Amino acid sequence: MSFSKFTKTDFNLIAKEYASLEEAARRRCKSEEEFQTIRRAFEFANEAHKNIRRLSGEPYILHPVAVAKIVVNEIGLGYKSISAALLHDVVEDTNYTIEDIRNLFGDKIASLVGGLTKIKSVLDNENKSYMLAPESVQADNFKRILLTLNDDARVVLIKLADRLHNCRTIEFQPEHKRDKVLAETMFVFIPLAHRLGLYEIKTEMENIWLRYKEPEAYQEITRRVSQNVEDKEKDIDAFIKPIREALRRACFDFEIRKRVKTPYSIWHKMQTKNVPFEQVYDLYAVRIIFTPDPGSVETERDQCYHIFSIITGIYRYQPDRIRDWVNHPKSNGYEALHCTLLGQSGMRVEVQIRSKRMDDIAEKGIAAHWAYKNEGYLSEQDSEMDKWLAKIKEILQQKGDISSLELLDMIHEDLTESEIVVFTPKGEQRSILRGATALDFAYLIHTHIGNQAIAAKVNMRLVPLNHVLQSGDQVEIITAESGEPKKEWLQFLRTRHAISLVIDYFRDSFDELKKEGDAILSEEMKKIGRHQSNRNIKHLLLTTQLANRDELCFRLALGLVKPEDVAASFANWDSPVAPRPVNYVVDSQTEAGVQRYIIASCCGPIPGDPVLGFLSPDGRTVTIHKKSCPVAQSVAAKHGDWVVVPDWDDVKAHSSFPVRISLKGIDRMGLLSEITHFISQVMGVNMTRLTLSVDGGIFEGFIEMYVSDKKLLNKMIKQLSSIDGIESVVRSEI
């Protein structure tokens, strides 16, 4: 932020931006009074931020105005939230207090602004002093953000709008700050937006993230998509034409939209499935949005199926690709009927059928859902999102004393993991984490049922409590009056909810267990030859993310922390955040002395990759990750202050770095020797490992080697791809 007198151009710009906000906001206001409140909020904020500029040089007030615009246009909230968005930086950045806001705008707006200020006060400020604290201040902030869900979910929605605008203007931030902000965005805000059903905001954030984290991949994908769209435009139109005609004949009130997969979702698919661009098939989707006919005897749901039967009368469909989220909405409230049709030229097109209401909720999420609810539209389905909010509130209330880092992981898991649907003996449907066991299910039903569980019946068959559930299972828990939790349960439980309930149970014998753990700790420290000095214990707490020594001992006794973890923590002393013990280390002589670089094994970056680094607390070691590495996102989201911009030039002098490429293709005589000859003789690269397997004429495998940089690697991938028989060559994780 900087300070300089506004010019006439500045005032004109402010007036123009506000006018466009006002136009959008007017439609949301139910009365002139509401509208005037927004105007007063703007005038107040405008005066308070006068002559203050953002890093971009723009007048500061343009930021709250832009956030307010997102709040009204993209989230669909009303005048109180719009006013709060306009006022959201006033208390933090100027001399006004929450009391001033309360006096001028009333309790509700003041409490929204208060919630936003609480979140902002530490999150957006740089503060180097907590670098060595075992508790992460950043994680603490996320805890605060989530706790505001408890009071009023609108605070989180306005915060999401604020974050979206910060992402849109991120080019003005210095690089290390950019990495921190985008990591937080990927780790917390995108999953939150997804969970709250804010599809458009989520998508835009993902694409901004990719544009900065993997600029080359982003450009390349964008270029190929637009090329592809140009090539296929006619085919798609020809595909839609008969659908349009048939729906008209059936008297539906509808519109058809063409959708192309976003660069991020294509990139994500290429990464997770290890495939090149050409093998991402479902690039296109066609969306049919209809307004249900109130005079029809068919319900909204039946009309979805009616449309489905019409279009599958025209095209063949893939039975295994039907997704019925009309009968079983996703837990974030998403409803639609998806199917994949086979077009004339063999083109596969995904078709999504939604009513106008379903579409609004799919695009705008929770606020649209509330709006429909207020209008009296209430069905069993659209309470899914309320159920989730209630669950989060329950976690937050129960776990008031939980460590912030643990809470952050717990919520992150809840936000991102996929779920399966299982049934109670009465046929009630319950969603549970994929991979959950029968015992997890018991705890989902009730704490008592979990605590007294002794076995389970899955689909009428007797199974042990550690039995992993499958989608569609019917689950019955068998309990015994004398049953009680066992320590061993903690080894197989999957859901954090169940794990924390079992831990709670054992807290009754905390002192006893603490003593037990104390003995384990002493023995282990002796074994690895370390004293229980303050420094060593502090380091242990940092790596195990625990609050104090007593808690560490308690968890050692329960087997939640293993003796091996203690040893591993010290084996990796230089990089407390390294995910695996085996990392590639480069020592480099710089002006300031020896600088140690650790090439993180999770993502194995090489010169030429966009990277970020984490500076260790001793200031001498930098762990380098790819900017897009999930481990790096998680660490930067918790410890943003460790983020530095590493200089490849220092590291590069040390010549070669390990990489792995995956190959797929059709086997033929001499192919293998051609590949190895090419890599070692033509490229002069040292292979360290080669694994290829052939099954039914198809070969698949990977090669590990050392290369100097990305340029060489890309050249090699390109030339390998042109060898006869090879279908795909991609760089993959080691």
Active site residues: 92-93
Stretch that binds Zn ion, among 434-442, 613-621, 628-636, 668-676 (CB under 5 A): 628-636
Residue placing its CB nearer to Zn ion in the complex, 179 or 476: 179
CB of 180 to Zn ion, least distance (A): 16
Instruction: For residue 710, state whether it binds Zn ion (rule: CB under 5 A).
Output: no
Residue placing its CB nearer to Zn ion in the complex, 600 or 643: 600
> Sign (positive/negative) of CA torsion 361, 367, 371, 372?
positive
Instruction: For residue 602, state whether it binds Zn ion (rule: CB under 5 A).
Output: yes
Q: How is residue 16 annotated by DSSP? A: H
Instruction: For residue 612, state whether it binds Zn ion (rule: CB under 5 A).
Output: no
Q: Are 547 and 135 in contact (CB under 8 A)?
A: yes
Pick from 625, 664, 710, 731: which binds Zn ion (CB under 5 A)?
Answer: 625
CB of 173 to Zn ion, least distance (A): 22
Instruction: For residue 407, state whether it binds Zn ion (rule: CB under 5 A).
Output: no
Residue placing its CB nearer to Zn ion in the complex, 469 or 602: 602
CB of 579 to Zn ion, least distance (A): 7
Nearest to 561 by CA among 575, 543, 576, 579: 543
Using CA atoms, how far residue 170 sits from 68, 152, 157, 209, in Å, is 18, 28, 20, 10
Map the footprint of Zn ion across residues 123-142, applying CB under 5 A.
none
Q: Are 184 and 636 in contact (CB under 8 A)?
A: yes
Stretch that binds Zn ion, among 121-129, 452-460, 591-599, 632-640 (CB under 5 A): 632-640
Residue placing its CB nearer to Zn ion in the complex, 585 or 726: 585
Pick from 14, 326, 600, 612: which binds Zn ion (CB under 5 A)?
Answer: 600
Size of interface with Zn ion, in residues (CB under 5 A):
7
Residue placing its CB nearer to Zn ion in the complex, 326 or 629: 629
Q: Are strands 254-260 and 284-290 parallel, antiparallel or unpaired?
A: antiparallel
Stretch that binds Zn ion, among 135-143, 245-253, 490-498, 594-602 (CB under 5 A): 594-602
CB of 208 to Zn ion, least distance (A): 21
Residue placing its CB nearer to Zn ion in the complex, 196 or 599: 599
Q: What is the 3-state secondary structure (H, E, C) of 466-483?
A: CCECCCCCEEEEEECCCC
Stretch that binds Zn ion, among 35-43, 117-125, 270-278, 623-631 (CB under 5 A): 623-631
CB of 569 to Zn ion, least distance (A): 19
CB of 635 to Zn ion, least distance (A): 9
Residue 504, helix vs strand vs coil: helix
Residue placing its CB nearer to Zn ion in the complex, 24 or 585: 585
Residue 93, helix vs strand vs coil: helix
Residue placing its CB nearer to Zn ion in the complex, 117 or 572: 572
Stretch that binds Zn ion, among 67-75, 204-212, 620-628, 655-663 (CB under 5 A): 620-628
Pick from 90, 341, 599, 603: which binds Zn ion (CB under 5 A)?
Answer: 603
CA atoms within 13 A on the CB side of 269: 15
Instruction: For residue 629, state whether it binds Zn ion (rule: CB under 5 A).
Output: yes
CB atoms within 10 A of CB 647: 15
CB of 633 to Zn ion, least distance (A): 9
CB of 598 to Zn ion, least distance (A): 10
Nearest 10 degrees: Cα torsion 732, 178, 616, 606:
30
Q: Rounded to whole angstroms, how far apart are CA atoms 551 and 518?
A: 10
Pick from 72, 546, 631, 637: which binds Zn ion (CB under 5 A)?
Answer: 631
Residue 502, helix vs strand vs coil: helix
Q: Rounded to whole angstroms, how far apart are CA atoms 212 and 627?
A: 8
Residue placing its CB nearer to Zn ion in the complex, 213 or 338: 213
Residue placing its CB nearer to Zn ion in the complex, 365 or 608: 608
CB of 628 to Zn ion, least distance (A): 9
**Binding-site string for Zn ion from residue 360 to residue 399, where x marks contact by CB under 5 A and - marks none:** ----------------------------------------
CB of 403 to Zn ion, least distance (A): 24
Residues 6 or more apart whose Cβ sits within 8 Å of residue 504: none
> Sign (positive/negative) of CA torsion 399, 402, 404, 406?
negative
Stretch that binds Zn ion, among 163-171, 254-262, 471-479, 595-603 (CB under 5 A): 595-603
Q: Rounded to whole angstroms, how far apart are CA atoms 575 and 460?
A: 50
Q: State which amino acid sits at residue 515.
A: K
Tell me which residue has tokens 């014998």: 509
Nearest to 521 by CA among 495, 485, 493, 546: 546
Q: Are strands 686-695 and 698-707 parallel, antiparallel or unpaired?
A: antiparallel
Contacts by residues 385-394 (CB-CB < 8 Å, ≥ 24 positions apart) = 385/196, 385/197, 385/331, 385/332, 385/333, 387/331, 388/195, 388/331, 388/332, 389/149, 389/153, 392/146, 392/149, 393/149, 393/150
Give bridge partners of residue 291 from the DSSP assignment: none
Per 3-state DSSP, what percentage of the chain is helix, strand, and coil (rounded to 5)? 55, 15, 30
Stretch that binds Zn ion, among 226-234, 256-264, 627-635, 679-687 (CB under 5 A): 627-635
Stretch that binds Zn ion, among 219-227, 374-382, 583-591, 598-606 (CB under 5 A): 598-606
Give bridge partners of residue 693 from the DSSP assignment: 700
- The pair of structure tokens assigned to 80 is 């109180």
Residue placing its CB nearer to Zn ion in the complex, 413 or 733: 733
CB of 328 to Zn ion, least distance (A): 36
Residues 6 or more apart whose Cβ sits within 8 Å of residue 306: 250, 298
Site residues, Zn ion (CB under 5 A): 600, 602-603, 625, 629, 631-632
